[in-house]
Amino acid sequence: MPHTTRLLFLAGSAREGSLNKRLAKLAHDVAEANGIAATLADIGDYPMPIYDGDTEAKEGPPENARKLKALMEVHHGVFIAMPEYNASVTPLLKNTLDWMSRVKVEGEPPLAVFKTRVFALGAASPGGFGGVRGLTALRQTMELGLGALVLPDQILVARANEAFDDHGHLKDKGQMDLLKAVVQRLARAAHVMRGAEDGA
């Protein structure tokens, strides 16, 4: 486990022009600008088949589920920006989390990777609600399903196709300040959580 508190930034969309990838990248850049060690990853680089119990019985979880779990393990906090699909979690992210939840390691408690780090959520949507309903569903999966600690602080970017300027920043200063606050809160919580896990 590295000595510096590290944050991982992901989006729940693999689409090339994804607004949520833009939000995840901006959050990552905000972290780096504040001296926080940060990694930006694309879950599109970890393709997995749709979860199926027979596939699992035959082959076990896909290698990419293990790889993404390993990536999470070297970070102490995770920011996920996810679009809302029909008021819920994107199938891509849900499938990724479902497979990751099936990775078993001997001697490791179930879901340890989720239970031993802290998460913060964001959403960007071209619509007016900003994806709040999707985040409520994601929160349920993460907290009740995976046992994760999810910060109450979150950022919603409504009308997101007009919300970013040419530098990838949010045009609205209040929204930019909120994003900075979410990232800083995540970094502080990750630092505390890391201390607890390290027995400090």
Closest distance of CB 101 from ligand FMN, Å = 23
Helix residue ranges, H only, 102-172: 112-115, 132-140
Please identify which residue in 44, 110, 126, 147 interacts with ligand FMN, judged by CB under 6 A: 126
Q: Is 85 in the site for ligand FMN (CB under 6 A)?
A: yes
159 binds ligand FMN (CB under 6 A): no
Give the span between the Cα atoms of 67 and 127, in whole angstroms: 34
> How far from 153 is each of 53, 79, 95, 146, CA to CA, in Å?
35, 11, 25, 19
Instruction: Check residue 168 for interaction with ligand FMN (CB under 6 A).
Output: no
CB 185 within 8 A of CB 151: yes
Note whether 86 binds ligand FMN by CB under 6 A. yes
Smallest separation (angstroms) from ligand FMN to the CB of 107: 38
Whether residue 72 contacts residue 80, with contact meaning beta carbons closer than 8 Å, is answered with no
Tokens 């504040």 identify what position?
34
At residue 121, the 3 state secondary structure works out as strand
Any contact of residue 15 with ligand FMN (CB under 6 A)? Answer: yes
Smallest separation (angstroms) from ligand FMN to the CB of 129: 6
Stretch that binds ligand FMN, among 38-46, 77-85, 94-102, 105-113 (CB under 6 A): 77-85
Q: Which residues bind ligand FMN (CB under 6 A)?
A: 13, 15, 18-20, 83-87, 125-127, 129, 131
